[in-house]
Amino acid sequence: MSINRLAYNAMKAVVGDRYISEDPAICQGYRSGPGGFEGGTGYERVMTTLPHAVVLPKNTEEVQKIVKICNRYDVPYVPYSTGFYGPRTHCHVENEIIIDLKRCNEYEMDAKHFYFNVGSGVTLGALQQEAMDNGAYTVIGGGGAQCSAICNLIGDGWSPLSHRVGIPHRRILGTELVLPDGELVKMGSLATSDDPFWGEGPGPDLRGLLRGFTGLRGCLGVVTKMAIKTLPFQPEPLVPTGVSPNTQLELPLNRVKWINYIVPTKEAQVESMFEIGHAEIAAAVTKVPKFWRAIAKAEDKEEFWKLWLVEDEESIKDFFIVRVLLVGFTSEEDMQYQERVLNDIMTEQGGVARRTKPSDESWIKNADSAGMWLMCGSYVSVDYVIESLSQAVDHGESYAELKWKYTPPLMPDFGDPGWFQNFEMGHQGYSEFLIYWDQREDVEGVDKFYVDTSKMNIKHRYYTSLLGPHQPMYLTGPAYGPNYHTWMLKIKEELDPKWVSHPPVPFAHDEFVRKAPWMKDMIDWESPAELPGRKW
């Protein structure tokens, strides 16, 4: 089987010979897995396939033309930027093509008005440096500095810096979206002029449709351009030092510093985070899993395990840390003020400041998510919850309990409740749960853990952000909607009536649990005999 030759030739006419290929070796380079995000999981093995061809457009116009050709000749496609997001951003059906957007790297910065206007191939790491060179900053999302800024903003887009900067929705300004049929939608102020400065535009705010809470992984077309808001930073340079792997940004401590506090109880941890937000100080406030500290200290995975396995359930249970990043945004006096307020809060909560490196290894310029592979070889962020700080704690405990059930194949983490932090000055509590395993193990438990996580969230009525693309829609939709799944289906069929944009998303996980024999006994929810969507 092959895609229609007329379609292939038409795409070649758009991008030129050099930027399209169906060579088997070229396509093999776009294989999903076997390593990477969700590496070795059933979803990766059951749901992904090699692309038939790969095409690299240079700009919005070329993307539009390619998508229209795909519609005309019934060629399914998936947009792809850095490819880091594992199987969900790789081909799912035979004779699908990848639209690799790395050449769409248009970039401009409006330093006066604090925003970038970028194409899909521009990464967060590059933007952060450009921002800092111009007295501003942005967020390196958890996916990492190497991620496409647009992709990260429509998918995730947060980090501990979201304490002050806020959730990603607020940083998306004027945006261009090539709809699944190739028509161009301009959002925000781009809808009425060439000025992308505003996120809000006439009519309904389509940014919500674009990303929901965590995006729809390419099933509603291709975002080709976005204006991204930046915020003012302090003026002192942050100097990179060290030789890989021990690299860090040396901080100007009069203006930027991390402080780690150990607090006596979980209640004190939450209360101090709340109070810091209430006082409207700090640039980041977070609690990280203890084993992340071992990752940061370890030279290699063997050293990580030596460091980590001295811990046990007791030592984890009684470990409460609050990491605070202070930035004197306006002056040294601002910094001193914040530090005094912080010390007052932490003293009240019984917090003790521990020696903290005068440098930043992660979050200002590098999310370091690739380091998460160090200890086991495979990992995935299985759940994000944005609710309240107190809820984050409850969620963490439920989650830790569930995780034990699946350990092994998950790594022994001694019940660490995960990562949580302030968003938007403590108005929201963010919790994220990451799991780690060795993909050479029998990993059916990982697949089951996914679905069990949804069931746990439904049971306890936790609001999870990974409702849409990562879970069976017919499990989560009725529980959260009650018509969330049918709403999604209507949107999909309205905008992509031919189902050419990354099928079978958003019903891919539903299909996976049906296809994987080991998932059969997990299915205790109702769904139609035949899943919606076109069969390729």
Q: Which residue has the tokens 């070229």?
A: 26
What is the closest distance, in whole angstroms, from the C-beta atom of residue 186 to other proteins in the complex?
A: 24
Pairing of strands 231-232, 248-250: unpaired
What is the closest distance, in whole angstroms, from the C-beta atom of residue 401 to other proteins in the complex?
A: 18
How many alpha carbons fall within 13 Å on the CB side of residue 181?
A: 9
Exactly one of 2, 9, 34, 312 binds other proteins (CB under 8 A); that residue is 34
Residues 49-88, mask of contacts with other proteins (x by CB under 8 A)? -----x-x-------------------------xxx----
Q: Does 25 bind other proteins (CB under 8 A)?
A: yes
- Residue closer to other proteins (CB basis): 377 or 478: 377
Exactly one of 3, 151, 345, 375 binds other proteins (CB under 8 A); that residue is 375
Rounded Cα gap, residues 265 and 261, in angstroms? 12
- Residue closer to other proteins (CB basis): 122 or 270: 122
Rounded Cα gap, residues 434 and 418, in angstroms? 7
Exactly one of 237, 242, 264, 517 binds other proteins (CB under 8 A); that residue is 242
Residue 329 burial (CB count, 10 A) = 18
Integer-rounded Cα radius of gyration of the chain: 23
- Residue closer to other proteins (CB basis): 1 or 310: 310
Give CB contacts under 8 A, 24+ apart, made by 291-298: 291/375, 291/413, 291/416, 292/419, 294/375, 295/371, 295/372, 295/374, 295/375, 296/361, 296/362, 296/371, 298/374
Rounded Cα gap, residues 536 and 534, in angstroms? 6
Q: Does 126 bind other proteins (CB under 8 A)?
A: yes
What is the closest distance, in whole angstroms, from the C-beta atom of residue 2 to other proteins in the complex?
A: 17
- Residue closer to other proteins (CB basis): 470 or 492: 470
Q: Which of 449, 373, 372 is nearest to 410 (CA)?
A: 449
What is the closest distance, in whole angstroms, from the C-beta atom of residue 378 to other proteins in the complex?
A: 8
Binding region for other proteins (CB under 8 A) out of 19-27, 257-265, 275-283, 495-503 = 19-27
Q: Where are the beta strands (DSSP E) in 337-449?
A: 352-354, 359-360, 378-387, 419-423, 428-437
Rounded Cα gap, residues 308 and 306, in angstroms? 6
- Residue closer to other proteins (CB basis): 103 or 266: 103
Cα separations in angstroms, 342 against 163, 272, 285, 363, 519: 15, 9, 11, 20, 49
Rounded Cα gap, residues 280 and 494, in angstroms? 43
Binding region for other proteins (CB under 8 A) out of 121-129, 212-220, 473-481, 502-510 = 121-129
Exactly one of 39, 79, 196, 215 binds other proteins (CB under 8 A); that residue is 39
Residue 255 burial (CB count, 10 A) = 20
Q: Does 145 bind other proteins (CB under 8 A)?
A: yes
Rounded Cα gap, residues 266 and 392, in angstroms? 11
- Residue closer to other proteins (CB basis): 299 or 521: 299
- Residue closer to other proteins (CB basis): 36 or 182: 36
Exactly one of 41, 117, 120, 123 binds other proteins (CB under 8 A); that residue is 123
How many alpha carbons fall within 13 Å on the CB side of residue 117?
A: 16
Residues 331-370, mask of contacts with other proteins (x by CB under 8 A)? ------------------------------x---xx-xxx
Q: Report the run of H or E that residue 266 belongs to, with start and end.
A: helix 266-278
Q: Does 306 bind other proteins (CB under 8 A)?
A: yes
- Residue closer to other proteins (CB basis): 21 or 398: 21
Region 440-479 residues binding other proteins, contact defined as CB under 8 A: 440-442
- Residue closer to other proteins (CB basis): 92 or 365: 365
Binding region for other proteins (CB under 8 A) out of 67-75, 120-128, 178-186, 311-319 = 120-128
Q: Does 244 bind other proteins (CB under 8 A)?
A: yes
Exactly one of 196, 351, 409, 417 binds other proteins (CB under 8 A); that residue is 409
For residue 452, with 0-12 CB atoms within 10 Å meaning exposed, 13-18 middle and 19 or more buried, which class applies? middle
Cis peptide upstream of residue 232 (ω within 30 degrees of 0): no
Judge whether 255 and 332 are in contact, CB under 8 Å.
yes
- Residue closer to other proteins (CB basis): 13 or 370: 370
Residues 257-296, mask of contacts with other proteins (x by CB under 8 A)? ----------------------------------------
Q: Does 302 bind other proteins (CB under 8 A)?
A: yes
Q: Does 247 bind other proteins (CB under 8 A)?
A: yes
Judge whether 79 and 42 are in contact, CB under 8 Å.
no
Binding region for other proteins (CB under 8 A) out of 303-311, 384-392, 451-459, 483-491 = 303-311
What is the closest distance, in whole angstroms, from the C-beta atom of residue 45 to other proteins in the complex?
A: 13
Cis peptide upstream of residue 358 (ω within 30 degrees of 0): no
Exactly one of 157, 371, 472, 506 binds other proteins (CB under 8 A); that residue is 371
Region 157-186 residues binding other proteins, contact defined as CB under 8 A: none
Q: Does 305 bind other proteins (CB under 8 A)?
A: yes
Judge whether 368 and 362 are in contact, CB under 8 Å.
yes
Rounded Cα gap, residues 493 and 499, in angstroms? 7
What is the closest distance, in whole angstroms, from the C-beta atom of residue 268 to other proteins in the complex?
A: 33
Exactly one of 59, 184, 195, 240 binds other proteins (CB under 8 A); that residue is 240
Q: Does 318 bind other proteins (CB under 8 A)?
A: no
Exactly one of 42, 79, 142, 144 binds other proteins (CB under 8 A); that residue is 144
Say how many residues make up the chain: 536
